[in-house]
Chain A
Amino acid sequence: MSTGLSVYRGGDSFVHRLNPVTKLAFVAAVVIAAFGVDSLWWPALLFAALVLPGALWAGVGRRFVLLVFGLIAPFLVILFLLQGLTYPDPGTVLLELGPLAVKTEGLLFAGTTALRLLVMVGAFVLLLLTTDPGTLMSAMQQAGLPPKIAYVVAATMQIVPSFQARANAILQAQQARGMDTSAGGALARGRRLIPLMGPLLLGALTDVENRSIAMESRAFGAATRPTALTVVPDSAAQRAARWAMILAAVAAVALNTLGVL
């Protein structure tokens, strides 16, 4: 099963079978460790020793690499251009390009930030590639996430593609009546898309009213404590592992702050 915003790839690996909350704890732990420890090699180690092997173990390595690098490549270019050429603090100049200078410190800063981004995006992509969105939501609700927040997250994941489809339908209807959205520069094209917004937003508002009636018809928001049809398997070992991962990340940050790591 997949939805428009879902990148989930089904499988039966150990990573797939983990409780989604355990995977979320892993994401939180590696992100805390990557951003909390002041070192160039630390995020690189986290990515190479934990995140990437996790993706390979789950059998989603190729898709993982494509998604991760596809997502962060534009940021990497901007990061290295900005920090590499305009690093404000004094430092070792490697190359001068008119008023701009490539400094070792700027490249180190850009490299560290890039590796941290790599860990964060990589961990999230690994979570999404190996976790069915429905199971993720069920697990989060079972872990205590309020139903209304869970609803907002789940509905967003599913409704955005439908919203895009509606926008396309309106655009096509307007194109059928002679509107040319391709001619002219970016500004002109953007201006011609403004008439799209009226029907799109009005339609969305009507939907909201109907949907709220549909939700109330199904007792959403009733005072009763909700139950769940799908129970996501969990275990004492996984619960312990979640705490261990978070504590390890906090410990790494503390040791780094004390100058040990």
Chain B
Amino acid sequence: MIVFEDFTYAYPTGSAPVLRGIDLVVEEGGFHGVVGASGAGKSTLAMAVAGFIPHAQGGEYAGRVAVGGAVVADTPLPELVTRVGLVQQNPFDQISGARFTVREEIAFGLENLGVEREEMARRVDAVMADLGIAGLADRSPYALSGGQQQVVAVASMLVMRPEVLVLDEPTSQLDPGGARMVVEALGAVRRSGVTVLLVTHALELLAEHADTLHVLVDGEIAAQGPPAETLADDRMEEWGVGRPRYTEAAARARRDGLWEADRALPATLGAAAAGFRAAVRTEGGRR
């Protein structure tokens, strides 16, 4: 479980707080999304969970952030990394450069933690199998596609068995194929029982996979709840977040009388298809 209590943070280089009075509880297990316009504080929130704020960034830090009962500010980073994994935006930057094969790259964190070799080999093989990258084991991490590199980054974190995996825009630099690989990998992470906290602009992805969604607006939590409800909120445009294409298409159809008035706006492709099908049937009945 991740808990923010009245959390406010300002970077050492900036005067205004980037996050203000955040009170947030992210339940253990499941898939949780964080959305917001650029500059809303999403990445800062991710860094605060992973502990790089305040341990690496400094700045003005008030309130409390805790992960699985450990208070982030009071827990040394090397200990915290065994509780929280962090996957960043650029897959290339996350390759250690210290190892020459994917298998060794995934094991790197375990080596640094002093895990015994047999245990390490078992865990690495298991995580590669779970994420479907066993075939890449002997390749150089630098010879992989962006999507493959990002899945390796996820594997490198997952192998350390964190309670929480924080991902900051993991698909933003990937082509659709690469993004799909990462999404499939996240499915496996979720099944393993790890709490996933995904910061992204990819609303369709969250609509399909997230259990809860938290909307950040100017450093504050403006809304939270199930994606279907949150993404259909009319204020999403005003907050600069936007809405999934399916939601937007249905909203326009409703204005033109082509979406049933009492039917909620859809957040997923499946719900949109069902809604349009129903609208077509109703229209056909009228004729």
Contacts and interface: CB of A to CB of B under 8 A. Distances in A.
Interface of A: 1-4, 132-134, 137, 147, 150-151, 154-155, 158-159, 161-162, 207, 210-211, 213-231
A165 to B, nearest CB: 10
B100 A219 contact: no
A230 B97 CA distance: 16
B114 A134 contact: no
B157 interface: yes
Given A134-B104, A229-B121, A222 B97 contact: no
A230 B76 CA distance: 29
Contacts of A229: 103-104, 107, 110-111, 117, 120-121, 124
Contacts of B153: 214
Interface stretch (B62-70, B85-93, B256-264, B268-276): B85-93
Contacts of A162: 92, 142
Given A1-B138, A162-B142, A224-B112, A218 B100 contact: no
Interface residues of B, number: 45
A218 B160 contact: yes
B151 to A, nearest CB: 15
B239 interface: no
A129 to B, nearest CB: 16
- Which of A4, A219, A222: most chain B Cβ within 10 A? A219
Contacts of B121: 229
Contacts of B112: 147, 218-222, 224, 226
A214 B96 contact: yes
B50 interface: yes
Given A1-B101, A158-B100, A226-B114, A216 B81 contact: yes
- Which of B82, B86, B112, B124: most chain A Cβ within 10 A? B112
Contact of A211 (B81, B93, B109, B120): B93
B238 interface: no
Given A225-B114, A227-B114, A132 B93 contact: no
Given A3-B142, A213-B52, A222-B113, A132 B78 contact: no
A132 B138 CA distance: 12
B52 A216 contact: yes
A86 to B, nearest CB: 45
A159 B140 CA distance: 12
7 contacts: A134-B104, A213-B52, A217-B81, A218-B156, A219-B109, A222-B113, A227-B115
A164 B92 CA distance: 14
A210 B168 CA distance: 12
B85 A217 contact: yes
- In the complex, the 10 A-B pairs of residues with the closest C-beta atoms, listed nearest first: A134-B100, A218-B109, A155-B97, A210-B93, A224-B114, A222-B78, A219-B112, A229-B107, A214-B94, A151-B98
A217 B96 contact: no
Contacts of B85: 217
- Which of A2, A159, A214, A231: most chain B Cβ within 10 A? A214
Contacts of A207: 90, 92-93
A1 B93 contact: no
Contact of A1 (B52, B100, B117): B100
Nearest to A1: B140
B281 interface: no
A219 B140 contact: no
Contacts of B113: 219, 222, 224
B114 A218 contact: no
B9 interface: no
A217 B117 contact: no
B77 interface: yes
A213 B78 CA distance: 12
Contacts of A224: 78, 112-114
Given A229-B120, A229-B121, A223 B78 contact: yes
A158 B142 contact: yes
B88 to A, nearest CB: 6
Contact of A154 (B100, B109, B139): B100
A147 B98 CA distance: 9
A208 to B, nearest CB: 9
B99 interface: yes
B31 interface: no
Contacts of A217: 50, 81, 85-86, 109, 157
B98 A150 contact: yes
